[in-house]
Amino acid sequence: MQALFSIDMLILFLASICGIGGALTAINNLGQIGASQGYPKQSISTFVSLVSIWSFLGRVISGFASDIILAKYKFPRPLLLTFIMLLSCLGHLLIALNIPDGLYVASLIIGFCFGAQFPLILVIISELFGLKYYSTLYNFAGVASPIGCYVLNVKVVGNLYDDETKKKMAVLGITRKPGQDLNCTGTDCFKLPFIIITGTTLFGALVTFFLVFRTRKFYKRVIYKTLQGKQNEAEANAGAEKDAARNGAVAAVEVPKTG
């Protein structure tokens, strides 16, 4: 209960809502975004494939990279999470501004950042709060993703997309028939929603940067010392093995031959 209601957990929860929720919203609307910006169907299928591939790469790379830079350069995972969320902002801006062929790059960036954020958040939880009640903390953190997706996807993107479509229909003098789907074409369809998502993700990055300052002493006092202790132990064991191998080789040479 101390972990669930701590400031650090609240920060991670907000970061999940802003970061993962924003990336998931972009992924869910990728086909509609491509259609509104005039991309052919084949390109839209390519976007979906790129997101899937780079999401997988983001999960793998964030795991290996965070371990390496933490052990070698003492680079804390919350700071890496901050940089990934800032990178995700670039992908959202590419969608909002509708730069030519920018959706290809945006699908790579957003897919990678979406895959990288969730493992990092879960590992940070294990580092800050331990593994004793990890299953409860894991599920609590997982709730943030659908909450963020609902707020940003339904309340922000959905409503603003419908409003923009109705404005365009009114300008063209088109009356919507009952049950007719709203299809919007043009840059303005997703411009404002993704500017809002960019701002939301940027807020999440600032929140995680605040977590960096809150946990810097903890990482120095606990995480870095633990890693240094393990490294020293590994080096000592390696040295002992070398000495044992050297002594064994010397003993084998000194044994007199019989026969």
All residues at 6 or more sequence positions from 64 whose CB lies less than 8 Å from its CB, including other chains: none
Instruction: Choose among 5, 1, 14, 3: nearest CA to 210.
Output: 14
Give the per-residue pLDDT at 222: 83
Q: What is the CATH number of the domain that holds 94?
A: 1.20.1250.20
pLDDT tens digits for 217-233?
888 888 888 777 666 66
Summarize pLDDT for 81-129 with one digit per residue, the tens.
999 999 999 999 999 999 888 999 999 999 999 999 988 999 999 999 9
Report the sign of the C-alpha dihedral through residues 14, 60, 77, 86, in that order: negative
- Could you read off the pLDDT of 10-51 as tens digits, one per residue? 999 999 999 999 999 999 999 899 989 889 888 888 888 989
Residue 105 lies in a domain: yes
Q: Could you tell me if residue 180 is inside a domain?
A: yes
For tokens 């700071």, the residue is 79
Max CA separation in the chain (angstroms): 109
Domains held by the chain: number: 1
* Alpha-carbon distances, residue 224 vs 9, 39, 93, 205, 221 (angstroms): 21, 49, 36, 23, 7
Q: What is the pTM of this model?
A: 0.85
Q: Does any domain span residue 87?
A: yes
In a domain, 120, yes or no: yes
Distance of alpha carbon 23 from the chain centroid: 8
Question: What is the tens place of the pLDDT at every residue in 179-188?
Answer: 667 788 888 8
In this prediction, residues 138-155 reach a mean pLDDT of 91
Q: Are 182 and 165 in contact (CB under 8 A)?
A: yes
Output the six-digit token pair for 239.
């040295």
Residue 235, pLDDT score: 59
Does a structural domain hold residue 167? yes
Instruction: State which residues form the domain around 139.
Output: 7-215
- Is 43 domain-assigned? yes
Residue 83 domain-assigned (yes or no): yes
Q: What is the pLDDT of residue 12?
A: 93
